[in-house]
Chains A and B, each alone.
Chain A
C-alpha cells in the first residue's frame, strides 16, 4: 500500500529539511517525502525570474494526491503555491513555517555582476559586498583594500541598531503568518550563538530547532537529541560569509572571534582577510 506523503515547499532551508527528514531514522518507513519550490528565490518577486533562473519544482500529481502534511515555507513577496488550497480542501494538514533571513550581519550585501565561471558555479560565487566594492573602485593592493575595509564602521554606516529593530519586527511579522514560530528562538540566541552562515542560510543549530518544532507541532512528540544532531549537522554551511568586526562589536556577538575561518564551498576555509582578498580577485577556484 502506498504511504502518505509529507510535502515541503520552499528553497534552500527547506531542501535541507527534506534531507534531514530523509535521514531521520524510521521516517521513510511511514511517509514518502516530496518537495516543491518556486521558480525564483522565495524572497524575491516573480517578475525576477530572469535574474534568478532557478527552476520551479512542482510535485508530481501522485504526490499531491497522497499528500497528508504540507509544510509550506511562508514567502515574503511571492504568493503561496497554486496547489495550497487544493491540498487543504482534500484534507491535507497545511503547516506554515517561517522563511529565515538575517540582514543585520551583512547589511553591505548587494547584487554583483562580475563575470564568473558558470561551469563551476551556477550562481555568483560570492555575496556582493558594496563596502568592499567602494574600496576597490579607487584601486590599491589587496592588503591595503582589506585594511581600508576593516577601518570602516559598518554599524554606523548602516545604522545597525535601527536595522536590528526593523529585522526583529520583520521576523515577528513572518511568525504571525506561521504555525511554527522562530523569532523568539532567534532573538534569544542571536548574540550568544552563531545562527547564520550567510544572509539566507541558517546554521545547524537553527535547523535543528526548526525541525524539532515542526515535528512537535504535527506529531506531538519529540525526537531524540542525538537523531536531531545527526540529521541537521553540516546542511547549509557550504558558504560562510565573514562578519565585519565593527558589526560584531556593535551587536555584541559573544560567539564572534577575530580568527574565525569562513568556508567558501569546496575551496577551503579562510580568515576574514584571506576571504576578502579572494573576493577582491573574485577567486572561485578550480
Chain B
C-alpha cells in the first residue's frame, strides 16, 4: 500500500488536535494564528502528529514550523529519513 499524501491527512490531524473544522485548514494556514495555539498546544501537536503519521520529527524544523505547509515538510522529511 502506498503511503497516503501527507496533505490529505494533515488537516484532519490538526483539526482533531485543535478541535477545528478540517475544512478551515489549508497548506497556508498559520497554526500560530489559531485561537487554541500556544506553546503547550504546539508541543502537544507535534507529539500528536508523530503518532498520527508514525514518524519521529526532527525537532528543530518541527519547533519552528508555523504553517501547515511547514509541518507537512517536516513530516515528509521524517518519512524520507525513515524514522518511526
Contacts and interface: CB of A to CB of B under 8 A. Distances in A.
Interface of A: 41, 43-45, 47-48, 51, 76-77, 101, 103-104, 106-107, 109, 111, 158-159, 162-163, 165-167, 169-170, 173, 199
Given A77-B37, A166-B59, 12 more contacts: A43-B38, A43-B39, A44-B38, A45-B33, A45-B37, A103-B44, A111-B35, A158-B47, A159-B47, A159-B50, A163-B47, A166-B46
Instruction: For chain B, give the interface size range.
Output: 20 to 34
Nearest to A51: B35
Interface stretch (B3-11, B21-29, B60-68): B60-68
Contacts of B40: 101, 103, 106-107, 109, 199
Contacts of B59: 165-166, 169
A111 B36 CA distance: 7
Contacts of B38: 41, 43-44
B33 A47 contact: yes
A199 B42 CA distance: 13
Interface string B48-77: 001100000001101110100000000000
B43 interface: yes
A47 B64 CA distance: 19
Contacts of A41: 38
Contacts of B44: 103, 107, 158, 163
A166 B32 contact: no
